[in-house]
């Protein structure tokens, strides 16, 4: 069995369709624009705590590539992290991470039964 490896730069992952034909980097799309994700600690975009997620979203808020970044993440089915100012958990965009604790209780509505009380 032949094993092939591919080296991909982080900046190339942010461009939707980068693997379709000629590979380009994000610099080819953004030019000389400084992007917050290129100067910040990358771990902040994969933070587990609520303040870390909020900080990552704040960095994305003023980014000129936020929309393209989000579209790229959606097209790649990113499993987690903050991409384009949106939080991905288990491959879906969510409003906020759930904190540690019990799972949410799902209550299904049941028909109300009348019970005769013995006197």
| Spatial CA neighbour of 48 closest among 89, 13, 12, 8 | 89
> Which pLDDT value is given to residue 38?
84
**For residues 29-44, average pLDDT:** 81
pLDDT at 16 over 80: no
Comparing C-alpha atoms, which of 27, 16, 87 is closest to residue 58? 87
CA–CA dist 75, 19 (Å, integer):
12
Tell me the C-alpha distance between 77 and 80, whole Å.
9
CA distance 57 to 50: 11
Q: Is residue 33 very low, low, confident or very high in pLDDT (cuts 50, 70, 90)?
A: confident
User: What is the pLDDT, as a whole number, of residue 62?
Assistant: 87
Structure tokens at 8: 């991909």
């Amino acid at each position: 069995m032949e094993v092939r490896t591919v080296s991909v730069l982080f900046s190339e992952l942010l461009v939707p369709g980068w693997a379709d034909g000629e590979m380009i980097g994000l610099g080819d799309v953004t030019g000389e624009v400084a992007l917050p994700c290129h100067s910040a600690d990358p771990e902040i975009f994969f933070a587990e705590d609520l303040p870390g997620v909020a900080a990552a979203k704040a960095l994305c808020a003023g980014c000129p590539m936020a929309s393209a970044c989000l579209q790229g993440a959606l097209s790649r089915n990113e499993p987690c992290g903050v991409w384009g100012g949106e939080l991905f958990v288990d491959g879906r965009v969510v409003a906020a991470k759930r904190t540690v604790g019990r799972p949410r209780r799902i209550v299904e509505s049941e028909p109300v039964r009348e019970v005769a009380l013995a006197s």
